[in-house]
Amino acid sequence: MASLNGATVFVTGANGGLGTAFVEAALERGADRVYAGARTEKKWGDARVVSLQLDMADPASIDRAAGQAGDTTILVNNAAIFPRGDLLSAPIDDITTTIETNLTGPIRLTRALAPALRSANGALVNVNSVLSWFAVGKAHSVSKAGLWMATNAFRLEFASDGVQVLGVYPGPTDTPMQPGEDRSGMSKPSDVVASVFDALEAGEYEVLLDEMTKKVQAALSQPISALYPTLASR
């Protein structure tokens, strides 16, 4: 199990609602350094935070950021984008960029930082989603389903190296990524991150953060129409 106390944490998508909560909570739990990766660097007002320019769809950007963060002990793959277009009609570039950002990018960054994680007996945290198992997110769901399986694969590949791998599965969370003005029933980013870091420090493999996520995961063992009732009438 990993501890945040004294850790060097790399958070991707650090400028977003959930990413900012990860940075702040890591500092509160005693991290020595936090690399805050985002497409646009910003000032954090804390000497322990190192802002890194990072575009998860750009392999060169990933390599540069990883080269600056070679002492990482805990990697949090949090960055994601969520276009709303359909797979059959959205511009194909939107779909491929989503997959590059949400799936291929985290794989690239994890590979680049694998030596550091192994050396530290560290941890990998992949922020997935209830949409890993529910197709209503279209390209986002496709990418998160892939990240779910990549998380399982990394867990197996890191098992002999003492690297903990935690898969995180939240439902709707009150961040700018969520559309609409009605925020009722959404989880607060700070609550999500507290649960994630509690699970990490407890040595868990997965954390399902709300009842919606638990119900959707449970429905995977049922007929497909349990998740998609519109199919039942066909």
Question: From the CB of residue 234, how many other CB atoms can be counted at a distance below 10 Å?
Answer: 5
Q: Which of 13, 22, 43 is nearest to 166 (CA)?
A: 22
For residue 207, list its beta bridge partners. Answer: 168
Crossing angle between the packed helical segments 139-158 and 92-99, to the nearest 10 degrees: 20
Cβ atoms of 166 and 153 closer than 8 Å: no
Domain locations in the chain?
8-231
Q: Please, what CATH class does the domain formed by 8-231 belong to?
A: alpha beta
Q: 88, exposed or middle or buried, with CB in 10 Å at 0-12, 13-18, 19+?
A: exposed
pLDDT tens, N- to C-terminus, the chain (234 residues): 799 999 999 999 999 999 999 999 999 999 999 999 999 999 999 999 999 999 999 999 999 999 999 999 999 999 999 998 999 999 999 999 999 999 999 999 999 999 999 999 999 999 999 999 999 999 999 999 999 999 999 999 999 999 999 999 998 877 665 555 555 576 899 999 999 999 999 999 999 989 999 999 999 999 999 889 889 876
pTM assigned to the model:
0.94
**Distance of alpha carbon 166 from alpha carbon 115, whole angstroms:** 18
Question: From the CB of residue 203, how many other CB atoms can be counted at a distance below 10 Å?
Answer: 11
